[in-house]
Amino acid sequence: MAKSIRIRANAKGDVVLVKALLTHPMETGLRKDKKTGKKIPANYIQEVDCTHNGKTVMTAQWAGAVSKNPYLSFKFGGGKSGDTVGIAWVDNLGKKDSIETKVK
């Protein structure tokens, strides 16, 4: 189970609403450490892939301007209760995480 992603997926008719909370520091590389005065290195999610039964339904390309612990919500058609929805992310340092859940 993913430690950095919380996800819910609910179907209403054939439309699935996905809500996810990603835990990530999302540092731009422009802020300075208050104690040392040195810049904090960039560390942000670059790509988020969302799948429905193994097929990509959305890909997001992000950069440093996205807030810490981003919230993601989207809808897609053609889903139903019991289907599998997954989210995976990769950051600029190569760290990644993913999770899958069943649509309710």
> Domain ranges in the chain?
5-25+42-102
- pLDDT above 90 (res 30): yes
Q: Inform me whether the pLDDT recorded for 38 exceeds 90.
A: yes
Contact predicate 42/25, CB 8 Å: no
Q: What is the pLDDT of residues 53-66, one digit of tens each?
A: 999 999 999 998 99
Asked whether residue 51 carries a pLDDT value surpassing 80, the answer given is yes
CB proximity list for 78: less than 8 A, separation 6 or greater: 14, 52
Kindly give the pairing relationship between strand 45-52 and strand 15-22: unpaired
- Residues 94 and 46: beta-carbon distance below 8 Å: no
Average pLDDT, the chain: 95
Confidence check: pLDDT of 2 > 90: no
Across 19-26, average pLDDT: 97
Architecture of domain 5-25+42-102: Sandwich (2.60)
Contacts of 67 (CB under 8 A, 6+ apart): 26
